[in-house]
Amino acid sequence: MSGGRMVECLTLARRIDTTAAQKRLQRLGANACEPAWVRLWAAGLGVADGKPGAWLLSAHEMRRALLLVGAELPTQKEEPSAGVKIDSGSPPTPKALDRLWLWERIATPRHWRIQMLDSTPVPIWLPCWLGYARGRQLRLTVLSGLSGETLPMLKPIVLKGLQQAYRNGQESATKNSGTKARREKAV
């Protein structure tokens, strides 16, 4: 955010289509699925010349980040299309980013020469698929819309976002029914 201006949120292109997502989620036990978009923050990783060679995707509340290898973020021109939109909130602090990058270096030692670049994290919309399985309890699986991998580290953010969306939906439904009732009384 430079000069008091909001940075535009980039939308990553969905690479896994509905059919592929349904097949993958069915193998994981899901009975139903829907598209979703999770807002995360992308911090550039690279060598000292300042050009990113990979991206650390994270949010303030995440314990483990996602590592996206590639110099360019695979963006699309349009805003997020159909699906649930879940905002992860504020960006991680520089200290949190350092901690997340440390965990990634431990987990993926081949990237040890890459360092966190000194730049502000960029907000992005990550395409996902949400799979639901019924049982004694409803089970949620989060699948990447880029690679088709399961993303268990996003589950707490998605659950919180779904809960907020449900509450907001309930509030707006209550407000709308109250407004409708007032209109009916007025007529």
Range of the domain at 142: 10-186
Check residue 76 and give its pLDDT: 74
The 10 Å CB-count burial string (b at 16+, else e) for 41-54 is bbbbbbeeeeebbb
Check residue 187 and give its pLDDT: 30
The answer to whether position 3 is within a domain reads: no
The answer to whether position 1 is within a domain reads: no
Q: Could you tell me if 20 and 117 are in contact, meaning their C-beta atoms sit under 8 angstroms apart?
A: no
**Tell me: the pLDDT tens digits for 65-76?**
888 887 787 777
The answer to whether position 111 is within a domain reads: yes
Check residue 173 and give its pLDDT: 52
Q: What is the number of domains present in the chain?
A: 1
Report residues of the chain scoring pLDDT below 50.
Answer: 1-5, 174, 177-187
The answer to whether position 4 is within a domain reads: no
- What is the model's pTM? 0.80
Q: Could you tell me if 157 and 38 are in contact, meaning their C-beta atoms sit under 8 angstroms apart?
A: yes
